[in-house]
Amino acid sequence: MEPLTRETIEAASKIVYQSMAPTPQYQWPLLKTALGSEVWVKHENHTPTGAFKVRGGLTFIHWLKQNHPDVTGIITATRGNHGQSQAFAARKHGLRTVILVPEGNSSEKNAAMEGFGGEVIIHGKDFDEARLRSEELAQQEGLFLVPSFHEQLVHGVSTYAYEFFNAVPDLDTVYVPIGCGSGICGTIMARNALGLKTKIIGVVSENAATAKLSFVAGKLIETPSAITFADGMAVRVPVQSSFDIYANNVEDIITVSDEEVADAIRLYYRATHNIAEGAGAAPLAALTQQKHKMTGKKAGVILCGQNIDTDWFVTVMSGKTPTV
């Protein structure tokens, strides 16, 4: 994938802003009290789907209609936020949307995808099995296969980081969760396009550590499972084109436990009264891990989504950690 320029990201922004406004970034004083650093939160929980991926959905579907005008429907696999983004964007263009999710997927995310017009099909024990089935059905149903990582998705999601870095250009470090990688790659592309020196740290679940293991090994490493309630990071098979970008541009990739993620969800709510899903809270969990290293510095965290099931949120706020 070619590096993005300011012009490319600004063109993507024009597409995104036809359907949503830029999201805010706030410096929350109670987070500073808790962590000892000036913490800036990029609120991607404030989008029409409650997560950052809607940006990529909008730019991808725009590109699809420009380059494949005869397409009548799309198919994709997801744990929820990617599927919502595609359904949201596809409905605007009258396209059918079929979405594969694994068994045990969030019932509330499934309902949201259906609410945006998606046809949800449950298949497989995890995301990667659902992904393989989506590839089969694309051929059978004559639907356009939307991957979880694509340059047009990165174009869209890079706009959140572009907003963030333009608003707060002197951040020392930004913490970004990694699933299939569009978010961290978009953040890298935006930073590089602006010529900033901000360090970027990727965050994964210790139970879904494929990106971390691959980063350390210098090559793709699959994991046998990816079982975490932070379902936006529940990936066991890394994406080569994504890895090629983040492996050479991040300061580090660190792991967080489900217990640390639950603590971060509680901290978010008590300090800001914002709700975060697991992947959305993971960057704050990582900053908490590194609070002594970051004392007195200016940190950015991407609250990439708020779409946590009610039962899980109640469990977390009662002081416990959800089990999967």
**CA–CA separation, 175 and 198 (whole Å):** 10
pLDDT, tens only, 154-166 = 999 999 999 999 9
Q: What per-residue confidence (pLDDT) applies to 303?
A: 98
Read off the pLDDT band of 107 (50, 70, 90).
very high
Q: Are residues 163 and 191 in the same domain?
A: yes
Q: What per-residue confidence (pLDDT) applies to 236?
A: 94
User: 145: buried, middle or exposed (CB in 10 Å: 19+, 13-18, 0-12)?
Assistant: middle
Does any domain span residue 1? no
Choose the final residue of a domain: 114, 145, 176: 145
Q: What per-residue confidence (pLDDT) applies to 116?
A: 98
Q: Are residues 25 and 39 in the same domain?
A: yes
Does any domain span residue 118? yes
The pTM score is 0.96
Read off the pLDDT band of 208 (50, 70, 90).
very high
Q: Are residues 185 and 102 in the same domain?
A: no
Does any domain span residue 324? no
Q: Are residues 182 and 258 in the same domain?
A: yes
> Mean pLDDT across the chain, nearest whole number?
97
Q: Are residues 173 and 241 in the same domain?
A: yes
Does any domain span residue 192? yes
Does any domain span residue 323? no
Q: Are residues 128 and 214 in the same domain?
A: no
Q: What per-residue confidence (pLDDT) applies to 113?
A: 98
Residue range(s) defining the domain that contains residue 178: 6-52+151-317
CATH number at residue 225: 3.40.50.1100
pLDDT, tens only, 237-283 = 999 999 999 999 999 999 999 999 999 999 999 999 999 999 999 99
Residues 6+ apart with CB under 8 A from 115: none
Q: Are residues 198 and 134 in the same domain?
A: no
pLDDT, tens only, 38-53 = 999 999 999 999 999 9
Does any domain span residue 322? no
Choose the final residue of a domain: 109, 129, 145: 145
Q: Are residues 94 and 240 in the same domain?
A: no
pLDDT, tens only, 160-205 = 999 999 999 999 999 999 999 999 999 999 999 999 999 999 999 9
Does any domain span residue 194? yes
Q: What per-residue confidence (pLDDT) applies to 175?
A: 99
- The answer to whether 321 touches 229, Cβ cutoff 8 Å, is yes
Q: Are residues 236 and 124 in the same domain?
A: no
Read off the pLDDT band of 140 (50, 70, 90).
very high
Task: Count up the domains in the chain and report the number.
Answer: 2
Q: What per-residue confidence (pLDDT) applies to 230?
A: 97
Q: Are residues 129 and 179 in the same domain?
A: no
Average pLDDT over residues 82-104: 97
Rg (CA), the chain: 18
Q: Are residues 185 and 282 in the same domain?
A: yes
Closest C-alpha among 235, 131, 191 to residue 9 = 191
Q: What per-residue confidence (pLDDT) applies to 199?
A: 98
Choose the final residue of a domain: 85, 112, 145: 145
Does any domain span residue 294? yes
What is the helix, strand, coil percentage profile of the chain, to 5? 50, 15, 35
Q: Are residues 32 and 82 in the same domain?
A: no
DSSP codes of every residue in 207-270? TS-HHHHHHHHTS----S----S-GGG--SS--HHHHHHHTTT-SEEEEE-HHHHHHHHHHHHH
